């Protein structure tokens, strides 16, 4: 198959985090099904829900019809937007699953959002030697030997669903801990490539930050439990080995979602938890989450936060039914965070 050179001017979204521009040389025709992590050279055919992509530095690039970019084959679970799956056959148009550049075929769509942006696959990306590029082949974090002894104190943030306020909660934890003089590391371990989430934690005081894209995964949807365990163990050993530091970790979506539930069911993860903060949109979600965490995983949150905690009326409603502390992640009370996290 004849490879054609990729001209400068293409966009490189954050799903391709582990690839360097010098590796991206050409594209070749494709006749085989895609695999998770395959780098694809594509052109925007029809603009839809995502009108921009974000690069590894957090820079937003506006898309127009004809924009060319390096996307990454992957799956996405997003109840507020789409479910997108890597197609089982070649030669089909793909959909932009996220502004991080994840590509697949739409299977379900929330009826409140427009159709996804559609792209035409121009070819598979190859390097100067003609080797096809797959992000999984170029991890920035390789799994080091397992740590003996205690690691950083894990503050785990999970929640009821997408957009419950988890990233804001995680960033607030980073700010509170760093403001109190503690060393803070941060990570997002499940979800879909969106570097903006971990950059928010860095802006809030986390000195080291990363997510699953550092290991080459464009998303974690439909990964096996062994892969999820490998992500946790690799990042834990690499960035959370200092027992004097704090490690703030966000899990995407809700505790009933497949990969988040797998993480919480992992004994190694549960044994590492120093504090558990649960984010919810409303009182009923908070109370239901407490019940599910206890019944399914044997866990009790140390605090409730998220959108529910920003409303005095919902806070008052929650406190009529539970004695678990509820902390506001928008209007932060440093003393409250100190009592919960330390």
The mean per-residue pLDDT over the stretch 246-260 comes to 98
pTM of the model: 0.96
**Residue 144: pLDDT band with limits 50, 70, 90:** low
The mean per-residue pLDDT over the stretch 14-37 comes to 96
Is residue 235 classed as helix, strand or coil in its secondary structure?
A: helix
The mean per-residue pLDDT over the stretch 140-147 comes to 75
Contacts of 110 (CB under 8 A, 6+ apart): 79, 80, 81, 82
**Residue 150: pLDDT band with limits 50, 70, 90:** confident
Contacts of 236 (CB under 8 A, 6+ apart): 147, 151, 247, 272
Domain extent listing, the chain: 4-137, 153-341
Architecture per CATH, 153-341: 3-Layer(aba) Sandwich (3.40)
Q: E-assigned strands of 97-140?
A: 102-109, 118-126
Distance of alpha carbon 3 from alpha carbon 123, whole angstroms:
9
**Residue 146: pLDDT band with limits 50, 70, 90:** low
Distance of alpha carbon 91 from alpha carbon 180, whole angstroms:
55
pLDDT digits (tens, 9 = 90+) for 40-50: 999 999 999 99
Across the beta sheet with 273-279, the strand order is: 208-211, 184-188, 246-250, 153-159, 273-279, 303-305
Distance of alpha carbon 342 from alpha carbon 274, whole angstroms:
9
Mean pLDDT computed over every residue of the chain: 96
The mean per-residue pLDDT over the stretch 100-109 comes to 98
pLDDT of 104 > 70? The answer is yes
The pLDDT assigned to 337 comes to 95
More confident residue, 150 or 255: 255
**Residue 90: pLDDT band with limits 50, 70, 90:** confident
The pLDDT assigned to 145 comes to 62
pLDDT digits (tens, 9 = 90+) for 215-235: 999 999 999 999 999 999 999
């Amino acid at each position: 198959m004849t490879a054609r050179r990729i001209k400068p001017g293409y966009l490189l979204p954050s799903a391709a985090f582990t690839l360097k521009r010098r590796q991206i040389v050409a594209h070749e025709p494709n006749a085989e099904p895609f695999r998770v992590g395959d780098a694809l050279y594509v052109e925007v055919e029809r603009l839809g829900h995502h009108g921009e992509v974000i690069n590894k530095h957090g820079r937003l690039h506006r898309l127009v019809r004809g924009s060319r970019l390096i996307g990454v084959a992957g799956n996405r679970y997003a109840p507020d937007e789409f479910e997108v799956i890597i197609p089982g056959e070649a030669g089909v148009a793909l959909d932009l699953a996220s502004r991080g550049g994840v590509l697949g075929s739409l299977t379900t769509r929330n009826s409140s959002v427009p159709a996804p942006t559609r792209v035409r696959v121009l070819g598979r990306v190859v390097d100067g030697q003609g080797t096809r590029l797959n992000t999984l082949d170029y991890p920035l974090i390789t799994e080091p030997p397992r740590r003996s002894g205690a690691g950083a104190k894990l503050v785990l943030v999970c929640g009821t669903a997408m957009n419950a306020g988890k990233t804001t909660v995680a960033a607030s934890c980073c700010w509170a801990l760093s403001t109190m003089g503690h060393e803070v590391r941060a990570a997002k371990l499940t979800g879909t490539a969106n570097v903006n989430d971990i950059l928010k934690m860095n802006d809030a005081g986390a000195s080291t930050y990363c997510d699953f894209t550092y290991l080459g995964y464009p998303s974690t949807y439909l990964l096996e439990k062994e892969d999820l365990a490998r992500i946790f163990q690799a990042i834990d050993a690499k960035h959370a080995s200092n027992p004097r530091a704090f490690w703030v970790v966000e899990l995407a979506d809700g505790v009933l979602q497949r990969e988040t539930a797998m993480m919480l069911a992992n004994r190694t993860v549960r044994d590492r938890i120093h504090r558990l903060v649960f984010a919810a949109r409303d009182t009923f979600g908070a109370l239901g989450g407490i019940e599910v965490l206890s019944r399914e995983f044997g866990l009790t949150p140390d605090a409730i936060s998220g959108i529910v905690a920003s409303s005095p009326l919902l806070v008052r409603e929650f406190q009529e039914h539970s004695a678990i502390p509820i902390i506001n992640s928008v209007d932060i009370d440093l003393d409250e965070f100190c009592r919960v996290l330390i």
